[in-house]
Amino acid sequence: MKFVDEVAITVKAGDGGNGCMSFRREKFIPKGGPDGGDGGDGGSIFLEADPNLNTLVDYRYTRRFNAQRGENGRGKDCTGAKGEDMVLPVPVGTTIVDAGTQEIIGDLTEPGQRLLVAQGGFHGLGNTRYKSSVNRAPRQTSNGSLGEQRDLKLELKVLADVGLLGLPNAGKSTLIRAISAAKPKVADYPFTTMVPNLGVVDVGQLRSFVIADIPGVIAGAAEGAGLGTRFLKHLSRTRLLLHLVDMAPLDQSDPAEAVETIIHELGKFSPALTMRERWLVLNKCDQLLEDEQQAILDDVVERLEWDGPVFVISAAERQGTDELAKSVMNWLDERTQRLLDDEDYAKAQAELDQAIEDEARAHIQALDDRKALRKQGLLNDEDDDDFDDEDDEDGPEIIYVR
């Protein structure tokens, strides 16, 4: 199943039914008066969060949805039937944006949550409604109003407590396999991970958190290099970032420079995202001696002037992974309690979340605008080749464990 996290659709609510003009005609009652019924209301369109969905692939090809129109009124005071409402299921974590104004209509973050996106038209009135003592044979009716039509952009952001960040082959997928039941693809070449993966980490009885792995980010990603920065938006909902670094890269690259590369690209994508709580995790320690591990650790901390938590692990050998998972769980519990006890902290976190959302959407919209200009021949920028899988019919399969 192809992973699709952005789609554009058009929704059109049903029009209201027209009122009927009719007069009662029965045997021995030649002038029975008006009996035209009202029309029915048009059907509305709702989006509903479905926990059984994890991609927007259903809206990749079918992008226009019309709700049922209300029936017209009939004689004998018969009211037209109401148009049936249309409910479109979307994954939990979907943000609905008005494509024309870029206004956020709603955010479906809870299973079963429903959002009205197009209001059905109001029914027209039959001539019965217009009768009075001075107008006993009214010939006035009204037509039903048009249903609302909107162009929408659906954006899916996976819901996870912890997000993994790092260069390709840093060991992010291996770490998820080590601490959760998720089984993402692992191989010895870059960009093994093509789509976000989710895993549930159990830490003791009734204690667990969700961790998300996104495709690796490389230098120049903010301008579209590699897989670009589109998948970074999935980190905007996380509470904690784990920055994985390969301690013993095969190309003999510098671990400290690898950290700086990611921070630089992260700042280009969303400066506010760099303010999110972030821990440094040095991976693949099993390939080094203990004195070499300590030397690399000291060098990275000193050059980066790092004052946050640092962990040295081997995801492949599962060394230090349990301690890391427990530390993450304890931090998440403490954060939850602090949000309840400290109003200033809760307000600051809410403002940070909103800033990350806004900056991420603005960055991706800028990429879309440049891509649209190139397609129209109005922009010729060979260096700005944003990753676009819109025409990729055989996209990667998603591996999701929830």
pLDDT along the chain (402 residues), means of 10: 71 93 83 88 92 79 90 89 91 86 85 91 91 87 92 82 82 83 57 65 81 66 53 76 84 81 82 87 84 86 87 87 90 89 89 83 75 72 46 40 38
Q: What is the pLDDT of residue 386?
A: 43
Model pTM greater than 0.75?
Answer: no
Q: What is the pLDDT of residue 213?
A: 79
List, in order, residues 6 or more apart from 162 with CB less than 8 Å away: 201, 209, 210, 211, 212, 238, 239, 240, 241, 242, 328, 332
Phi first, then psi, for residue 198 (nearest 5°) are -120, 145
Q: Are 116 and 13 in contact (CB under 8 A)?
A: no
Query: Alpha-carbon Rg of the chain, whole angstroms?
Result: 28
Secondary structure (3-state) at 88: strand
Name the residue among 186, 183, 213 with its Cα closest to residue 198.
Answer: 213
Q: What is the pLDDT of residue 369?
A: 75
Pair of tokens at residue 82: 């109401």
Instruction: State the Cα angle at 322 between 282 and 261, rounded to 5°.
Output: 20
Instruction: State the Cα angle at 269 between 400 and 60, rounded to 5°.
Output: 45
Q: Which residue has the tokens 């903010």?
A: 222
Q: What is the pLDDT of residue 8?
A: 87
Q: What is the pLDDT of residue 391?
A: 41
Q: What is the enclosing helix (H) or strand (E) of 347?
A: helix 343-375
Q: What is the pLDDT of residue 63?
A: 87
CA–CA separation, 68 and 87 (whole Å): 12
Q: What is the pLDDT of residue 382?
A: 53
Secondary structure (3-state) at 264: helix
Return the amino acid letter for 106: G
